[in-house]
Amino acid sequence: MMEIIDGGLTTPQGFKAAGVHCGVKYRSLDLGMLYSEVPARAFVGYTSNKVKSAPVQVMMAENSEFLSAVVVNSGNANALTGRRGIEDAITMKNVAAMELNIDPKQVGVMSTGLIGRFMDMHKVRYGISRAARELEFGREADSLLAEAIMTTDTIKKESAVRVRLTDGTLVTIAALSKGSGMIAPHLKVLQGTTLCMVTTDAVLSENFHGTWENILEDSMNMVTVDGDQSTNDTCALLANGKAGGNCADGDPNFIHALQKVMTDIAKMLALDGEGATKLIEVQVFGAETKKDARSAAMSILNSPLVKSAIFGSDPNYGRIMMALGNSDCKFNIENVRLTIKGGDMEVPILDSGAPVFQEERSVEVVRMAMDNKEVTIVVDLAAGSESAVGWGCDLTYDYVRINAEYAT
């Protein structure tokens, strides 16, 4: 029913991409373009940070419900750049529209990089013109676009699946994201940066907005590297309908496949956090409300003490409970159960508010579980039936070094 495939943004029918070097960064590729041969219905989530970058402001104010292209630059966030930044973002849209012979309202624009620097529009115009001429489909084009949007990322973050809908139509979904630091997205539909583009050749209607927002809540919005939400966070789903078939709005196969892709991207973002050596997954069960479950997971993931303990494989579970207690969720400590998983080990830590063990030998077992590339913290609040899963990473010496030197 669903097949995980080696694919990128151009794997769904009708999409092309390009990535070029235009001089925003010294040597690396720094400008990318995604293009749909027919206007694609767009579902876009934007940062909830009150300080929004120029591209975010422009897209929120000017874009239509359909997009034919998205232009992305790295190396400059175009944030805190005043009226000039707004004008530069509009210029990026207009130049791309002219090159592609489309309506400027059907061009999205995203930027990532240093905040508070003006764009060199001579270079950016050249990059957009060149990218428009070099649009192609295939894995090489996917790779060039992926490289062009990276900042401190160390890996390309792609996921793609092929799924057969309930009416028999075969559709493809692909996603590309960047993000390594300044990550704690809180993306709202129709409202170090996380940028994400998702393409599909399925047919979707405007009624899919609510479903898309729910998927974002359970994927991108459950990722945190450092608890700092960027000024530029943007996530755009483009559906061009080239596969045909019935509208996939309520198709369970499509929704499951899209959830799979977005969850994969969320975990990649967490694992590639600046300086990260471990992926932390927090599973919360038994919450009274969904909001409580999410709050508990994110409070644990955002705790510098928890993150530091995971980095050092330090079995100090008191830090986890401290972070849980600082969340907004409701629970009775006498009913809480805590388990830590790592590798093939699953170690119960706390039951009914008291430690399962205190012997030194048992503590070493916990340390062994934590000394894995992926560590899972399971919390059962025993207060209801709601659950949530979130992803983060450890806090390392390199995170401090990278961010202490970012602007220099």
Q: What is the largest CA-CA distance in the chain?
A: 71
What's the rounded Cα separation, in Å, for the pair 65 and 84? 26
Scanning the structure block, which residue is given the tokens 């943007």? 234
Alpha helix stretches (DSSP H) within 108-251: 121-133, 139-148, 209-218
193 catalytic per annotation: yes
- Is residue 246 classed as helix, strand or coil in its secondary structure? coil
Scanning the structure block, which residue is given the tokens 């309506």? 103
- CA proximity to 257, closest of 123, 116, 159, 129: 159
- CA proximity to 43, closest of 67, 18, 25, 61: 67
| 90, containing H or E segment | helix 82-100
Q: How far from 278 is each of 28, 59, 109, 139, 284, CA to CA, in Å?
A: 27, 35, 32, 29, 19
Spot the catalytic one: 47, 81, 193, 224: 193
The b/e string for 199-220 (b: 16+ C-beta within 10 A; e otherwise) is: bbbbbbeeebbebbbebbbbbb
Give 229's DSSP letter.
Answer: P
- Catalytic residue numbers read 193
